[in-house]
């Protein structure tokens, strides 16, 4: 049985957490606190596609070297295309852009963590410290938009990793993408946890005037202490609300995503978050129940044991009650909202609160009829 699973059983059977913590420490997968300072995950397990699993442990001979702290490293990725397509029946968009792979925000619950295994890296600390940037994104986007027969639909950005994570300050890939989208009059919907999106209000406000842009801020909790441990490098909750205010005042349709809702930990804040976001200027709202696919489950469990051991059993019990007795259910239509009585209750609470505070009275529909295609750079122009 894997270490986290043993810890899980111990915590459930014994009603305590000392043994659970001891099991995780003994397994060697938990990284020393000083090495991971300022990070969300406490573990760095090998990716699921790796042929071997490496564990650090003290063999008793005092030969264990002091390892360096995890520092943010950025590598350049050279994709051939930048627009990702999907046919998922339970999401509202069929195309998206990811300027970065991995995310420095370090949100411990991030459902995108397992994608780092495709790079031979860990979905744990590697995901938030070994990042990949796509500096050619704007050029690739322009080439794809200029293709003959391209049909415009909303491009979603921020649905996987955050396009406004801290490294965007230096790389400015997201701003270059917006410049291309504005030039082509192409609609875009953005989701972020970062106040850095306010940097691009000049572009977004011009696009919003034409009905081409909207932005959603993800607000998981209003508790700054909880947010700092759970989302260590994301903007503070008050800063996110202030960013909603800035966007709304600039005429940009702003909404709030209460995502993810963690039962037994943040679900009691649903009404407060919606009330605060509406007061800041949000006009729409949505929510997603906590998702724990693949490696996210043990990473989240480890975090929960370290920071909220008294709630460990209760939180997991509620999660499983909404996932058919499992940590996660990936079935279409259920993965976002869950199922069962508790999931139903959260849904009704959200709907009632949204109605009470005047959210979702109207949905912003972005325009596609203004799209203007042009020839890609270097392409032969027609004579007539």
Q: What is the pLDDT of residue 67?
A: 75
DSSP 185-247: T--EEEEES-GGGGGGHHHHHHHHHTT-EEEEEE---S-HHHHHHHSTTSPPHHHHHHHHHHH
Query: Are 254 and 215 within 8 A, CB to CB?
Result: yes
Q: What is the pLDDT of residue 384?
A: 47
Length of the chain: 384
Q: What is the pLDDT of residue 378?
A: 46
Query: Which residues of the chain carry a pLDDT beneath 70?
Result: 1-29, 55-65, 374-384
Q: What is the pLDDT of residue 47?
A: 86
Whole-prediction pTM value?
A: 0.89
Q: How many domains does the chain divide into?
A: 1
157, containing H or E segment: strand 155-157
Which pLDDT tens digit goes with each residue over 350-369? 999 999 999 999 999 999 99
Report if residue 53 sits inside a domain.
Answer: no
Report if residue 199 sits inside a domain.
Answer: yes
Q: What is the pLDDT of residue 58?
A: 64
* CB neighbours of residue 249 within 10 Å: 13
* CB neighbours of residue 135 within 10 Å: 14
Q: What is the pLDDT of residue 375?
A: 53
Determine the Cα–Cα distance for residues 120 and 122; give it in Å rounded to an integer.
Answer: 7
Report if residue 369 sits inside a domain.
Answer: no
Report if residue 333 sits inside a domain.
Answer: yes
Q: Which domain covers residue 142, as residue numbers?
A: 76-99+133-356
| CATH (domain of 87) | 3.80.30.30
Report if residue 281 sits inside a domain.
Answer: yes
Report if residue 144 sits inside a domain.
Answer: yes
Q: What is the pLDDT of residue 4?
A: 47
Report if residue 188 sits inside a domain.
Answer: yes
Instruction: Report how far Cα 301 is from the mean position of its chain's Cα atoms.
Output: 18
DSSP 43: B
Report if residue 26 sits inside a domain.
Answer: no
């Amino acid at each position: 049985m894997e270490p986290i699973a043993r810890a899980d059983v111990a915590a459930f059977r014994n009603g305590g957490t000392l043994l659970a913590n001891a099991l995780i420490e003994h397994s060697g997968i938990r990284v020393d606190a000083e090495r991971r300072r300022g990070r969300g995950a406490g573990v760095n397990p090998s990716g699921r596609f790796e042929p071997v699993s490496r564990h650090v442990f003290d063999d008793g001979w005092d030969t264990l070297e002091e390892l360096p702290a995890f520092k943010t490293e950025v590598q350049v990725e050279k994709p051939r295309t930048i627009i990702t397509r999907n046919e998922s029946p339970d999401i509202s968009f069929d195309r998206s852009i990811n300027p970065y792979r991995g995310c420095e925000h370090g949100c411990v619950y991030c459902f995108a963590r397992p994608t780092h295994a495709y790079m031979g890296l860990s979905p744990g600390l590697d995901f938030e410290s070994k990042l990949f940037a796509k500096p050619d994104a704007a050029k690739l986007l322009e080439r794809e938009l200029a293709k003959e027969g391209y049909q415009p639909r909303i491009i979603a950005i921020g649905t996987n990793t955050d396009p406004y994570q801290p490294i965007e300050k230096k790389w400015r890939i997201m701003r270059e993408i917006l410049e291309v989208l504005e030039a082509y009059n192409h609609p875009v919907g953005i989701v972020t946890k970062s106040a850095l999106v306010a940097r691009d209000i000049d572009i977004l406000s011009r696009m919003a005037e034409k009905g081409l842009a909207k932005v959603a801020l993800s607000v998981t909790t209003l508790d700054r202490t909880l947010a700092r441990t759970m989302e260590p490098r994301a903007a503070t909750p008050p800063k996110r609300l202030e960013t909603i205010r800035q966007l709304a005042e600039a005429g940009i349709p702003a909404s709030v995503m209460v995502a993810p809702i963690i039962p037994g930990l943040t679900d009691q804040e649903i009404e407060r978050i919606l009330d605060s976001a509406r007061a800041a200027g949000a006009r729409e709202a949505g929510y997603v129940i906590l998702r724990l696919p693949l490696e996210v489950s043990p990473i989240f469990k480890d975090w929960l044991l370290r920071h909220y051991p008294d709630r460990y059993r209760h939180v997991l019990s509620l999660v499983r009650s909404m996932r058919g007795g499992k940590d996660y259910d990936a079935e279409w239509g259920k993965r976002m909202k869950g199922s069962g009585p508790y999931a139903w209750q959260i849904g009704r609470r959200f709907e009632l609160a949204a109605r009470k505070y005047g959210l979702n009275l109207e949905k912003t529909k972005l325009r596609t009829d203004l799209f203007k295609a042009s020839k890609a750079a270097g392409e032969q122009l027609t004579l007539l």
